[in-house]
Chain A
Amino acid sequence: MPATAPATSRANAESDPPVLRVDGLGVRFGSQQVLRDISLDLDAGQTLVVLGESGCGKTVLLKTMIGLVRPTAGDVAFEGRSLSRMNDRQLAHLRTKYGFVFQGAALFDSYTIADNIAFPLREHTRLSEHEIAEIVGTLVDEVGLPRTVLLKKPVQLSGGMRKRAGLARALALDPQLVLYDEPTTGLDPIMTDVINELILRVRERPRVTSVVVTHDMSTARKVADRIIMLYPLFRLRPDEPQIVFDGTPADLDRSRDPRVRQFIEGRAGNRLTELLEEQGLTERGRPTATDGGAVTDDETTDDEEETT
């Protein structure tokens, strides 16, 4: 099965230009290259899940999509307009079309929940305080928060409530593109599913496009209509693409790429051995796999041909 099979919604929306185009994107922090030659088109209404292990550059990719991280190579374009060619004012205006749900919610500590959710409305609209209060009320209802939280400060809320308040704030300006950074990390299974349901509800809004960065397979299977998987660059050869999988959730389950299988089945393989040897005996180079579930270099190479 070719891993780059187009997702179904992608095929349906061929006539429309992509909402977001990532073209040959590379990001480097000092001497550390995090992303290399990432290209993808995101169609209107699509929900893209970006999978990958910690440190593979998922969050950096998400932040590059909104211009919080400037790429060192390539470009990101929203509705055909390149982000890197925009000045600060244009970028600020563009960001009103985005909603960003942060990993730790990133609510302003010194504001109440009501003020947090009202922030983008006060910043970008000329609505009266009464109208803003109404919208804020509707938003907290939509994410299933009681209205009693409105006067509380973020520290008084549980993790799940904070995440939902963060989602309400991200939806305040009725965004076209919603970016979620690890929306279910640190939540119990029930709250995880609540957040998954909320992501699905947001998806049902007309022509809302979503990008969900996660390493939670239940979220990926539930909300995605397209999944890509990133792989850490230091585990790849210079000629290997960093996106090791691109397809539907069903394709993901059928994938025979050992890197993908290792991730979705959650196997450590030889990672612990690698980590221990890196700490004590770096001069030995990369350790070879010793157990059956490990991903060996040979396997990776063979399947790489399949993925590309």
Chain B
Amino acid sequence: MADTTGRVWCASTAHALSDTLAMASSPATAAPQSAVNGWLAGMVANLGSFAMSSVAGIGDVAIFTLQTFGWMFARRQRRDVLLPSFYQIGVMSLPVVALTGLFIGMVLAVQSYAQFKALGLETRLGSVINLSLVRELGPVLAATMLAGRVGSAMAAELGTMRVTEQIDALESMGANPIYYLVVPRFLGCLVLIPSLTVMADFMGVLGGYLYSHVLLGIDYHHYWENSRAYVDAFDFLMGIFKSFFFGAAIALVSCHHGFHCTPGAEGVGRAATNAFVHSFVLILVLDLFLGIGLNNFHDFFRPEGPRKLL
């Protein structure tokens, strides 16, 4: 409830600000001057209102996150609530993650082959495909598929529950909706996204190899030898580490959108769309900053840097 209060306070402050500015500019001074002032005041008020609502929105998500963490440890999780959620998030997402992983591996081979062939370095394809897969494309792809398949479904489901008063019903029976609805989904995403990332990595590596060896005729021994030489455990673990953050972001953003869904079919649709769009943007932003951080971490322990491809 505190989050709602915060939002209301910020919204009313923004209104007050816009009123004050509008009043300051409205008195009957010279007409053109007043029009410019009014336009300026409107711009400033809009900017202020946008800033206020953004801060309130971030605060809202932060409180939601803290409540989720609180309920994760406050009470033992129920098996009958967790398992269906895990099944939906993990098992049902495997086929689509595997399929997209396979294709992205092959696409990488298609796109890199011409450049590497021109340099006479076809056998190095294995290293570049597998390195980009385990570091970037595997985790990001698995997270994107999870956001699209599970994130929007969670937002739509929770949004419908909000609109049909099922969330109110939970509260009215003395049950906490965060504990019942958000924590199982959060844990599902957090615990299972590494497995999905491993699946995306594996299928991508397989797809890249199949295309390179079977269709492009690259020697398999050198392909694997180069992969082994340039991709190390750190690269693989870096992808897995990042995936935890992606999973948490997807669950929290999607559940938050569902919880704050506006009434009607349009509201549910908007919650589902926004859940995907905001999760995806957050995945890419997190990917950038985690990438920078982890590279610095790597350089700290191995100042000589990664092995050179050329």
Contacts and interface: CB of A to CB of B under 8 A. Distances in A.
Interface string B1-33: 100110010011001000000000000000000
Given A104-B164, A106-B165, A95 B12 contact: no
Contacts of B172: 66, 68, 95, 98, 100, 102
B174 A92 contact: yes
Contacts of B4: 70
B1 A106 contact: no
Interface of A: 29-31, 63, 66, 68, 70, 88, 91-96, 98, 100, 102-104, 106-110, 119-120, 123-124, 169, 173
A106 B174 contact: no
Interface in B142-197: 160-161, 164-166, 168-169, 171-176
A93 B175 CA distance: 9
Contact of A100 (B11, B160, B169): B169
Contact of A30 (B1, B12, B160, B161): B12
A70 B1 contact: yes
Given A106-B164, A106-B169, A124 B12 contact: no
26 contacts: A31-B15, A68-B168, A68-B171, A68-B172, A88-B176, A91-B174, A92-B176, A94-B174, A95-B171, A95-B173, A102-B165, A102-B168, A106-B164, A106-B165, A106-B168, A106-B169, A107-B166, A108-B169, A109-B166, A119-B175, A120-B174, A120-B175, A123-B173, A124-B174, A169-B173, A173-B173
Contacts of B1: 70
B166 A108 contact: yes
Nearest to B4: A70
Nearest to A29: B8
B165 A103 contact: yes
Contacts of A91: 174
A-B pairs, top 3 by smallest CB distance, nearest first, are: A106-B169, A95-B174, A100-B172
Given A30-B8, A31-B12, A31-B15, A96 B169 contact: no
A93 B165 CA distance: 20
* Interface residues on chain B, size class: 20 to 34
B66 to A, nearest CB: 13
Given A30-B12, A70-B1, A123 B175 contact: yes
Contacts of A108: 161, 166, 169
A123 B78 CA distance: 11
Contacts of B5: 70
Given A30-B12, A31-B12, A31-B15, A96 B174 contact: yes
A29 B169 CA distance: 21
Given A95-B174, A100-B169, 10 more contacts: A30-B11, A31-B15, A68-B172, A92-B174, A92-B176, A102-B168, A106-B169, A120-B174, A123-B174, A123-B175
A106 B176 contact: no
B12 A63 contact: no
B152 to A, nearest CB: 17
Given A30-B8, A30-B11, A70-B1, A119 B165 contact: no
